[in-house]
């Protein structure tokens, strides 16, 4: 059984992430969508909130898809879960340097685990969680960038 993992901060989930999730499901027997508990970043949404968004918006948790969170090294979590490949989305050339470094680092730490890149669809290639948060914070229209549920959660965060 080929188990793939789609890891990320998902702070918050965007339409670009959802598209990668749908396509990733087609290339592995089992897909783990994993939210990183990254202490170095200061996320807007808690891990539970981000997991809640994935559960609500993907509506895909079943025998084939698991939504999880992890702390520490991604490769350690992969080994624990029997993951054989990591899936990451590539939006544009600016992502490449960062993704290349992570992929090589993970390959050094765990040579048996491959990293695969899925190119973002062009209509999502400019969307990032950070930009979504900035636009939402200033009251801009993000309806075409994130699922409706995430839109609602962002409105709740910024209306306080």
Please give the residue ranges that form the binding site for ligand PNS (CB under 6 A): 7-9, 36, 38, 73-74, 102, 105-106
**In what helix (H) or strand (E) does residue 93 lie, and over which residues does it extend?**
helix 93-109
Judge whether 17 counts as a catalytic residue: yes
Strand partners, 90: 119
Active site residue 30: no
129 is an active site residue: yes
What is the enclosing helix (H) or strand (E) of 51?
helix 47-58
CB of 79 to ligand PNS, least distance (A): 12
Beta-strand ranges (E) seen in 9-76 are 30-36, 65-70
Q: How many CA atoms lie within 13 A of 133 on its CB side?
A: 12
74 vs 142, beta carbon nearer ligand PNS: 74
Q: Which of 88, 120, 129, 133 is catalytic?
A: 129
Q: Kindly state the smallest distance separating residue 32's Cβ from ligand PNS, in Å.
A: 12
Nearest alpha carbon to residue 126 among 144, 138, 140, 141: 144
Nearer to ligand PNS, 63 or 111 (CB): 111
> Mind telling me the catalytic residues?
17, 41, 91, 129
């Amino acid at each position: 059984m080929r188990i793939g993992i789609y890891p990320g901060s998902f702070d918050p989930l965007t339409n670009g992430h959802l598209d990668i999730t749908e396509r990733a499901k087609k290339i592995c027997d089992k897909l783990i969508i994993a939210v990183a508990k990254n202490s170095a970043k200061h996320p807007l949404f808690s891990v539970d909130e981000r997991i809640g968004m994935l559960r609500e918006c993907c509506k895909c948790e079943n025998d084939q898809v698991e939504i999880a969170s992890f702390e520490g090294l991604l490769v350690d979590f992969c080994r624990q879960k029997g993951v054989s490949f990591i899936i990451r989305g590539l939006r544009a050339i600016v992502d490449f340097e960062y993704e290349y470094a992570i992929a090589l680092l993970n390959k050094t730490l765990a040579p048996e685990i491959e990293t695969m890149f899925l190119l973002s669809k062009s209509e999502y290639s400019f969307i990032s969680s950070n930009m979504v948060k900035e636009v939402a914070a200033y009251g801009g229209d993000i309806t075409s960038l994130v699922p409706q549920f995430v839109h609602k959660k962002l409105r709740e965060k910024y209306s306080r």
